[in-house]
Structure 1
Amino acid sequence: MTQTLAALLLTATASVSAQDYAGYGEQPDSANHLGQAEYSPYLNRGYPQQVFWGDTHVHTAYSTDAGMIGDILGPAEAYRFARGEMVVASNGVRAQLQRPLDFIVVSDHSENMGLAPMIAERNPELLKTDFGRKISELVYAGKYGEAYTLWGQGMATRKDPLAGNDALTRSAWEKLTSAAEEYNQPGVFSALIGFEWTSSPGGNNLHRNVIFRDGKQRADQVIPLSNYDTTDPEELWAWMAGYEKLTGGRMLAIPHNGNLSNGLMFDDRTMGGKRLDRDYAERRMRWEPILEVTQIKGDGEAHPALSPNDEFADYGTWDKGSFGPEPKTPDMLPREYAREALKRGLAYEEKLGANPFKFGMIGSTDTHTSLATTQEDNFFGKATPGEPSANPDRFNEKITGYLQEPGGPDITIRHVNSLAAGLAGVWASENTREGIWDALARKEVYTTTGTRMTVRVFAGWDFTEADVQRPDFAETGYLRGVPMGGDLNSAPGGKSPAFVIRALRDLDGANLDRVQIVKGWLDGRGKLHERVYDVQCSDDRAITSEGRCERPVGNTVDVPSATYTNSIGDALMLAYWKDPEFDPRQRAFYYVRVLEIPTPNWTTYDAAFYGVDLPQGISPSQQERAYTSPIWYAP
C-alpha cells in the first residue's frame, strides 16, 4: 500500500459519521443474529471450550490457624502469587509459580477471622475486649504457643471468645471482599469470594468452603457462618438459603476430603441422628454439588482396604485418626472415601429416589501459607513452620496427633506425609466468577494432584472409535453425549455406554502412563461393586484379558539428583471404551483416572536441594494423577 493510499484511507475512516459507524475501536451494533449464516464458526458457541486452573482453598494470615503460627501474608499476596508474581514467603524465601493460575478462592476460616492481623496492628476495638487484651499481651511477649492455645480453647469448646463483637468480624470480612474485588479481572483472573466453615465435632473434620457466585456488594450483606454458630451441615445449608433469599445471589459449599472425618463425612445418619431421606439427599446435592477429593492433607479418592484390587488406591493415605483423640477404626473408612460414597449413593438413590452423594470432584491445596503451590519441586508446605528449609521441622512438624490419648494408638501424622496437592480443572466458556462458579455447580470439573494435565471425557450411546480423532471432538461430544458430571438415562435397546477420552500431559510436566475408567454399580440383589479398567496404555503396551496394562510403565527417577526423563510414557493419549459388562437395569457411575509416569516426590527434591537425608518410610517417587467428575447412569 502506498503512503498516499494509506493517508486517503485514514482520512476516509476519520470522516465517517457516528451515525454510519460506531467509531474506530468500538463495536458495531451486535443485534441478534440467531439463525443467520455467518462466516466465523466460533461465534456464540454454547459449550465450554477451555480448561481453567485454580485453587478453591487458600488460607492467609486472616485465618487464625495460619496467622497465629507465622503466616504474615494477606490476601493481596495470595492473589499476586496466584497471578504469577514473585512474593516473599513468611520465612523469607522467595516464591513464584511456574505458570499463573486462572482463579483462586481465598477461603479464610470464619472463626475470629482476621484475629492475627488485628493483633499485629494493635486494633483498638480488639484491645477493648478481655480476650483481645490477653491474647495480644501473649503475642507481644513472644509467647506465641500460649496465645494459640488460648484461642484453641474457644474452638474446642465452641465458645466464641469475641462473642458480641460482630463488628470485628465484619471489618475483616469486608477487607477480604475488597481484596477480591481489587484483584478480580474478568477474562483474565477470577478472584472468587469465599470462606471456610470449620465444623469440627469431636475434632473430626467436616469443614466446608463456601463459594459465592457474587461480588462484594452482595457478599457484604452477611457475616460468614462459623463453627461457633453450628457444627451441623444442614444448618449451614439453611444459612446459605437465607443468603440467597436476602440478596438474590448464589452460593455453593465444597466439603473437604473425608479422610479426617472419622466416618462422619458420608455418614448414614444426619448430625441430628436421623436416617437419610429424600429431602436430605436433595438438599445436600443442591448445596454441595462437588467434593474436594485431594489436598495437602492426603488423598480421598480410594483406600486400599476398600479397593484391594486397585494397585493405585494407596496414594496419600491418611488413616490414623482425625484432629481429635479418637483413633481410626476400619468401620469408619467406607464413610470417608469418595469412591465408596459414590457407590453407596447408588443404593440410596434406588431406595430414596435421590442420591445424597452424587458429587463432582476437584482438588485444591488447603495451604495455610497464602501460597497455592502444588508442584513437587516448588512446594511451600502446609503452614509456615513447614515452609522450605533444611530445618527438620520441614519434615517432622505434626499436623495431627496433638490430642493423642495417653497409652492409645499413635495417630500422629507429620508434614512429611503431606501431598503437594491439588488443583481444580474447570471446563468453562469464560474466566469469570460466574463462568467458574457455574462449571462447579454443574460438575464439569476434575481433580489433579498438582499437575496440569488436560483431560476431557464424553459418554453416549452412539460414539465410535473414530470419534476420538475428530477435529470437532468437543462439539460432537456435547451434541451426541454428556460431559463429566453428566447423566445417561434409559439405555436404548441393545446399547452400552461408550466413552471417548482425551488426555494431554502437563506441557511442563511428565508423560502419561495410562488412562483408566473406574466403574461402580448396584446389582439386582442390592450389592455394590467396583472395577478399574485400563482403557489406554502408553508405550504400546497391550491390555490383558483382565483389562489391565500388561506391565508397569517403568521408572526413570534418579533419586540423588531428583530428576526424571520423559523417555517413557506418552504425551497424548486418546481412548475409546465401551462397557463390556453393562446391564441397563443397574445403576452405575463411571469416572476417568489418568496416571502420569513416576516423578520425584517433594521430599526427594528437598533432600537433593538441601543435602539432607531422605525421610524413612516415604517413597522417593510417586505417580501424579487426575480424577474426573463421574458420569452417572440410571435405568
Structure 2
Amino acid sequence: MFWGDLHVHTAYSLDAYGFGTLRTPAEAYRFAKGDAVGSPAGDVQLDRPLDFMAVTDHAEWLDLMYTCTDPRMSAHPYCVKLRNQSTQETGGTVFRDFVNPTITQAQPAKADVCTDDPSACDDALLSQWERMQQQTNAANDPCTFTALNGFEWSATPNYSHTHRNIIFAGDNVTPTPVDYIRFPEIDQLYSQLEAGCRAEDGCDAITIAHNMNMGDGKSFDVETESERTLALRTRYERLVEITQEKGTSECLPDYTHRESLGECGYETYITSHSRQKPLADFEEEEWERMRSSYARGLLRRGLLTYANRQDAEGNPLQVGFIGSTDSHTGLGGYVEEDQWQGTVFGIGNFERNMSRMGFNPGGLVAVWAEQNTREGIFSALKNRETYATSGPRIALRFDAAKVGEVPACKAGGALAPIAGGTPMGSTLPEASKAAVFRIAVTGDKAPLEKIEIIKGTLKGESYEESVIPVWQSDKGEANACVIWSDTEFEPAAPTYWYARVTEVPTPRWSSYICQEAGRCEEFPDADVKIQEHAWASPIWHLPTR
C-alpha cells in the first residue's frame, strides 16, 4: 500500500502564482519527499513523506506563465500587471482579471500578449510542457518515490467546475497538454488523448474528475452521449476525486432532506455555479441535478446506464475513488489538521483563513500496488485498486470472498488480499450467487468509530440505496475486521457496494488555528470537531442483461 497526492499546483498555474506561490514542480516534489520548505506560515515539512505524487498544473496557462513570469519575463504591459498584482493581498484581482475569463468563457488570457507574435506563445507552451516533464522525470525514483506526469483540463463553463486531471503512465505523453480553450468539450479531451497518447507508442493515460460538488451536475452526460464518447469515457474515466480542499463530493441527500445533510454532511462546500449558496435557496430541479454528479449519484446513474444501454462498451460510470489536496501552494500531502496553515488564499494569515473556513486540508489517495514504481502505481490506478481518505493514513482492505468460501479476518492482522477474491475497484464473477465481503482496517492516529457499507442496486427499473452499519465501537478501536454477507443479494440485479470508515471526533484545522490565536470566541464556527473518513473504491456486480 502506497500513499500519494494526484492534484498539486505550483507557480506554473496562474491561480497559484496569482496569490504568491513561487514553488516550482521540482520544489514541490522535494517537499513531497520530505524536505522542509519555506512558506508564508514559516518552514513546513511532512512528518510522513509521500510515496507518489503528480503535479497537475492547469494546461490553459502554461504558455502565459512561461512568457510572463519564468523564464522569459516579458515586459509586455499585460505581463507587468500580472506580476505586480500576484501577491496574497492582491490575488483576488488576478483571479478576477486574468483567471476567470480564461476558464469560464474559454478565452485566452494571453490574447494581448500573443497578438504580435502568436507563434511565440506556441513555443512557450511546448517549452513549459517540456520543463514540467523534465522536473517530474528527474523526481521519479523507482521503488522509493514515484513522480507521475500530468496536467489539468480546467473547463469551468459559466463557473461550473467540470475539471479533469490527466495522469500518464510514464514519460510518453501527449505532444502538448490538452487545454479547455482549444478543446472545450469533454469528448474533445478524450479524442485528443486517443490521438496523442497511443499504446503503440508506449503511452497510456487516465482522467480523474474532481470537485463534482461545484459542477452543477454537468460534464457526466452519459444519457445523451454518443456511443463513441461513452466508449472513450469508459476507457479513460477510471477514477473520481471524492474529497479535496474545496469540499467532499461523496453524496447529497434527496431534495426533501437537504436541510439536514446527515451522513452526507462531511466537509460540504455546496455551491451553485461555484458560489456558495444556502441550502434552502435551491430549487428541487437544481438540487437533484447537482447531486446527480456527486460520486454516489454517478454510481446510481452508471447502473441505470448499464441496464438501459446494452450496446455501451461497459459501464461508463464505473469509477473508483481517490482523495487529493488540490494544493495551490505546491505542498502536496500537507493534510494534518493540527499542522495545516490554510489554502493559497490565506496560508499563514489568520483573518484570510477564517474567511475561507469552508475549505479544508484535502485528502490522500492510497493504492494497493506491488511496487512503488510508475508501472505499479499506474496499474493500480487504472484497475481502481484505490481508496480515498480525508487525510489520515487509515489502512483499508475491502474485498469480496471467493464463492463458497469465508475469508480469515483478524483485527490488526496483515492486510493481505483474499486469495481468489475480488479486490476493491473490481467486479464480482458474473455467475456469483452470493456476495460476502471483508473490511479490514488499521487506524492511524485517531481510533476508529464505525464501518458502513453503502449499497446501490437496480431491481428492474427501480434503484434502491442503503447505508448499512457493519461495525461500531463507542469507545473507539485501533483496528477492526468484519466479514459481512449481503443476505439480500440478487444475482440478477446490477449492484455496487463500497466501504466507508469513520474515525472518532477530532479537532478541525480551524479549531487549532483559532485556539493558537486565542480568538475562538470571535469565530465560534471554527472551534469544532470533525470525523475523518476513508472510502474504498466500489465492488460491482454487473450481470449480463
TM over 0.5: yes
1 CA distance for matches of 2:251 and 2:85? Answer: 43
Q: CA RMSD in A?
A: 2.7
Tell me how far 1:630 sits from its aligned partner.
Answer: 0.4
Q: CA deviation at 1:488?
A: 1.1
CA distance in 2, matches of 1:133, 1:333: 40
Q: Distance in 1 between matches of 2:82 and 2:5?
A: 32
Q: How many residues align?
A: 519
Aligned to 2:264: 313
* Shift, 1:266, TM fit: 3.0
CA deviation profile, 1:510-548 (whole Å, cap 9, x unmatched): 010111111100012x1111111111222xxxxxxxxxx
2:20 and 2:86 in contact (8 A); partners too: no
Match of 2:492 among 575, 585, 591: 585
Q: What is residue 427 of structure 1 aligned with on the other side? A: 368
Q: 2:528 maps to what in 1? A: 620
The answer to whether the 8 A contact 2:365-2:386 is kept is yes
- Give the partner amino acid of 1:437: F
Alignment of 1:70-81 (within 5 A): 70-81=20-31
Aligned to 1:190: 146
- Is the contact between residue 7 and residue 56 of structure 2 (CA under 8 Å) also seen in structure 1? yes
* SS in structure 2 of the partner of residue 112 of structure 1: helix
**Of 123, 126, 129, which aligns to 2:72?**
123
Task: Report if the CA contact (8 A) 1:200-1:231 is conserved.
Answer: no
Whether 1:501 and 2:400 are equivalent positions in the alignment is: no
CA separation of 1:474 and 1:278: change in aligned 2, threshold 3 A: farther
Residues in 2 aligned to 1:276 and 1:594: alpha-carbon distance in whole angstroms? 35
Does structure 1 conserve the Cα–Cα contact (< 8 Å) formed by 2:212 and 2:294? yes
* Equivalent residue for 2:328, pick from 359, 368, 375: 368
Against the structure 1 CA distance between its residues 92 and 613, is the aligned structure 2 distance closer, same or farther, given a 3 Å change threshold? closer
Of 75, 81, 106, the residue aligned with 1:158 is 106
Name 1:199's counterpart in structure 2.
Answer: 155
Q: Which residue of 2 aligns with 1:561?
A: none
Q: Is 2:60 the counterpart of 1:111?
A: yes
Partner of 1:348: 305
Determine if contact 1:306/1:334 at 8 Å carries over to the other structure. Answer: no
- Describe the superposition over 1:426-476 as per-residue Cα deviations: whole angstroms up to 9, x where unpaired: 100111112111110000000100110000021135365552249997666
Report SS of the residue matched to 1:375: coil
Q: 1:542-601 CA deviation, whole Å, 9 max, x = no partner?
A: xxxxxxxxxxx3xxxxxxxxxxxxxx3111100000002111111100001111111100
Question: Is contact 2:103-2:154 (8 Å) kept?
Answer: no
Percent identical pairs in the alignment equals 32
Once residues 502 and 92 of structure 2 are traced to their aligned partners in structure 1, the CA distance between those partners, rounded to angstroms, is: 41
Separation in structure 2 between the aligned mates of residue 146 and residue 342 of structure 1, nearest angstrom: 39
Partners of 2:85 and 2:246 in 1: how far apart? Answer: 30
Partner residue of 2:194 out of 226, 238, 241? 241
In the other structure, the counterpart of 1:20 is none
Q: Partners in 2 of 1:145 and 1:469 — Cα distance? A: 52
Indicate yes or no: 2:217 matched with 1:263: yes
Residues in 1 aligned to 2:515 and 2:466: alpha-carbon distance in whole angstroms = 39
Matched, 1:418 2:378: no
Aligned to 2:468: 533
Larger Rg: 1
1:293 is matched with which residue? 242
Between the aligned partners of 1:258 and 1:483, the Cα distance in structure 2 is: 26
Match of 1:549 in 2: none
The TM-score normalised by the length of structure 2 is 0.89
Secondary structure at the counterpart of residue 377 of structure 1: coil
1:572 and 2:479 are equivalent in the alignment? yes
> What secondary structure sits across from 2:501 in the alignment?
strand
Instruction: Find the partner of 1:276 among 201, 225, 235.
Output: 225
CA-to-aligned-CA distance 1:469-509 (integer Å, 9 cap, x gap): 499976661x33110011113345xx420001210001xx1
Question: Which residue type is aligned with residue 598 of structure 1?
Answer: P
1:57 maps to 2:7: yes
Q: Which residue of 1 aligns with 2:291?
A: 334
- Counterpart Cα distance in 2 of 1:323 and 1:393: 19
1:72, distance to aligned residue in structure 2 (A): 1.5
Give how far 1:382 is off.
2.5
Question: Larger deviation: 73-82 or 233-242?
Answer: 73-82
* C-alpha contact (below 8 Å) 2:454/2:500 kept by paired residues: yes
Structure 2 vs 1, CA of residues 307 and 426 (structure 1 numbering), >3 Å: closer, same or farther? farther
* Compared CA separation, residues 334 and 323, structure 1 to 2 (3 A): closer
- Give 1:181 deviation, angstroms: 1.7
**1:94 is paired with a residue of what secondary structure?**
coil
1:457-468 matches, cutoff 5 A: 457-462=398-403, 467-468=408-409
Q: 1:548 maps to what in 2?
A: none
- Counterpart CA distance in 1 for 2:377 and 2:134 is 20
1:380 and 2:321 aligned? no
- What CA distance in whole angstroms lies between the structure 1 residues aligned with 2:10 and 2:465? 40
Shift of residue 114, structure 1, vs aligned partner: 6.3
Instruction: Give the Cα–Cα distance (whole angstroms) in 2 for the partners of residues 324 and 623 of structure 1.
Output: 25
Question: Aligned partners of 1:62, 1:456: CA distance in 2, in Å?
Answer: 37
- Please point out which of 448, 473, 478 is paired with 1:512: 448
Q: Match of 2:437, as an amino acid?
A: F
1:517–1:533 CA contact under 8 A, matched in 2: yes
Q: Which residue of 2 aligns with 1:38?
A: none
Q: 2:398 is aligned with what amino acid?
A: V
1:335-376 deviation digits (Å, cap 9, x = unpaired): 221112101211110111232211001000101011121111
Structure 2 residues without counterparts, runs of 5 or longer: none
Alignment partners' CA distance in 1, 2:528 and 2:128: 42
Q: What is the CA deviation profile of residues 75-106 of structure 1, one whole-angstrom value per residue up to 9, with x for unaligned ones?
A: 122111111111111x1511111111101100
Query: Residues 476 and 368 of structure 1: is their aligned pair in 2 closer, same or farther, counting only changes over 3 Å?
Result: closer
Q: 2:161·2:212 contact (CA, 8 Å) conserved in 1?
A: yes
Instruction: Say if 1:379 and 1:388, in contact at 8 Å, map to a contact too.
Output: no
CA contact (8 A) 1:307 1:313 kept: no
Structure 2 distance, partners of 1:223, 1:386, is 32
* Correspondence for 1:227: 180
Secondary structure of 2:197's counterpart equals helix
In the other structure, the counterpart of 2:46 is 97
What is the alpha-carbon distance in structure 2 between the residues aligned to residue 256 and residue 286 of structure 1? 17
> 3-state DSSP class of the match of 2:59?
coil
SS at match of 1:77: helix
Provide Cα deviations, 1:154-199, integer angstroms capped at 9, x if missing partner. 4443222255311112222222111112211100001111111101
Distance 1:136-1:319 versus aligned 2 partners, 3 A rule: closer
Higher RCO structure (Cα 8 Å, ≥6 apart): 2
SS at match of 2:438: strand
1:180 pairs with 2:120: no
Quick one: which amino acid aligns to residue 204 of structure 2? R
| 2:542 equivalent to 1:634 | yes
Q: Is the Cα–Cα contact under 8 Å of residues 169 and 223 in structure 1 kept in the other structure?
A: yes
Give, as a single letter, the amino acid of the residue that structure 1 aligns with 2:263. Answer: F
Question: How many angstroms apart in 2 are the aligned matches of 1:184 and 1:352?
Answer: 42
CA distance in 2: counterparts of 1:511 and 1:225, whole angstroms? 43
Are the counterparts in 1 of residues 161 and 214 from structure 2 also a CA contact under 8 Å?
Answer: yes
Query: What residue identity is the alignment partner of 1:622?
Result: I
Tell me, in whole angstroms, the C-alpha distance in 1 between the residues paired with 2:470 and 2:90: 57
Single out whichever of 358-367 and 277-286 deviates more from structure 2: 277-286
